[in-house]
Structure 1
Amino acid sequence: MTITRFAPLSRLWPCLALLFGLALLTGCAHDEGNETFPKADYSYLPPLNLNVSQITITSQIQPNYDDLTARSPNNPESDLQLMARQRLHTTGTSGSAQFIVTQIEMTKLSHHSFSGTYGVKLTLDDPTHQRHGFITARVHRTIEAPGSYSLERDLHTLNTALMDDMNVELEYQVRNHLASWLTDATGTPLNATTVQSQDLSSTELPALEGSAQQHAPLNTTAPAAPHPTSTTYESTTPTKLHSPPPGVLSLPQH
């Protein structure tokens, strides 16, 4: 007769705990690998209409194997170029613009601390009208990431923050240093002012530019006087002063 002895349950707990831990780690790694992130979109931001006929978008970034750019779920170089395509619009008939990505860096400072730096350059050239201009925009950001997040999520958070900063910085630089190149959606310069002349002897207002509608002649009849309700009106007619009758004035007594 064979007697089978089973190991006590207490001896099995370490093995069960090890198997459970391995399964948990495998599940976490599987979840991180399937983690998805939203794609970048800057089309909802106000466009920057430039008085040029074409825009070229290029990059001068050299591979840097010491940073973490390649691990970012959203490619920073692609996001910067997408920002240029969606925000910089052409409204002119001559001239050209060149948008250049000049710097992209992502580094890990400590276990949960990351920093990044983005830089771009925008040059404008219109030989026909002998106009030239350029601006540079550079942003830097440091974040402290929760320890429970994956590296990809931390880099996505850093990239999102840097792109938000770059959109603000680019618009600020363009509006403050390239204002003469900005137009509205129809191509009219934003800093242009239209001055119209009018014959002062005419009783008609000039028609608005681009409109065929004429204004009615000015009413040269003086308006009727308002009814005296609760409003107080002051008279502008000078009041005549009369001398007092004799005996009214007296000298002061000492």
Structure 2
Amino acid sequence: MLAGCEATVPSPAFPDLTFEHLGPIKLNVGSVEIISSYKPPLSAPNVEHLFPTPPGDALGRWAADRLIATGSASRARFVILDASVVETALKKEKGLTGAFTKDQSERYDAVLEATLEIFDDSGASKGFANARANRSVTVSEDATVNDRAQAWFSLNEALMRDINAELEKNISLYLGNWLN
């Protein structure tokens, strides 16, 4: 009689990506609308939908946590333009050398882009600030599912740090008159 058992490796638990600790960005507007014009394809080569927290969700959370309406007129619209992560297979060493080396097998290229635009009550645009962040990471051919998930989480954290810095800078620079 043969018996086998398979141990399942628990998935790592990642913390929620939240941004309240960064403090609010107070906008002198009556309301803030958060929308995403980016529609993930949900198929290869895109993999953002497989992330513990997809980058688009993290960026939407950033806007919800940080952009606060403190006025009574006008409105702000935060639009997520891109939140993609594309997987690219990398060339691996073959032959005898390949048998004794561990190559990087995939590269993940992530992009986040968003625009914050202010409109007056008649719908006329009064100004906007745009930000874009790019990051990449590679994983080894012997990476486990959990290793890959950790790489994706770390990539997303770094990407969010980058876009946060760009958004803060550009909002201050281009929408300074709308800040409280």
TM-score (norm 2): 0.78
Deviation at 1:112, TM superposition (A): 4.4
Post-superposition offset of 1:137: 0.9
Deviations along 1:66-113, one digit per CA (max 9) or x if unpaired, are 201111011222211110011111111101001111101112233143
Cα RMSD, aligned residues only? 2.1
> Of 164, 169, 174, which aligns to 1:167?
164
Q: How many pairs align?
A: 157
Query: Residue deviations 1:177-225, cap 9 Å, x none?
Result: 1111111xxxxxxxxxxxxxxxxxxxxxxxxxxxxxxxxxxxxxxxxxx
Are positions 1:94 and 2:73 aligned together? yes
* Counterpart for residue 22 of structure 2: 45
Does the 8 Å CA contact 1:54/1:95 hold for their aligned counterparts?
Answer: yes
Residue type of the alignment partner of 1:99: F
Is it true that 1:54 corresponds to 2:51 in the alignment? no
SS of the aligned residue for 1:102 comes to: strand
1:23-172 alignment runs, 5 A limit: 26-27=6-7, 30-31=8-9, 33-64=10-41, 65-66=43-44, 67-109=46-88, 110=90, 111-127=105-121, 132-145=126-139, 147-149=142-144, 150-172=147-169
Aligned identity (percent) is 25
Letter in 1 for 2:84: E
Structure 2 alignment gaps of length 5 or more: 91-104
- Listed as ranges, the matches of 1:220-235 within 5 Å are none
CA drift at 1:121 = 1.1
Q: Distance in 1 between matches of 2:57 and 2:115?
A: 15
Deviations along 1:164-187, one digit per CA (max 9) or x if unpaired, are: 11111110110111111111xxxx
Quote the Cα distance in structure 2 between the aligned partners of 1:132 and 1:83. Answer: 23
What corresponds to 1:176 in structure 2?
A: 173
Query: Which amino acid in the other structure matches residue 166 of structure 1?
Result: I
| Gap runs ≥5 in structure 1 | 1-18, 184-254
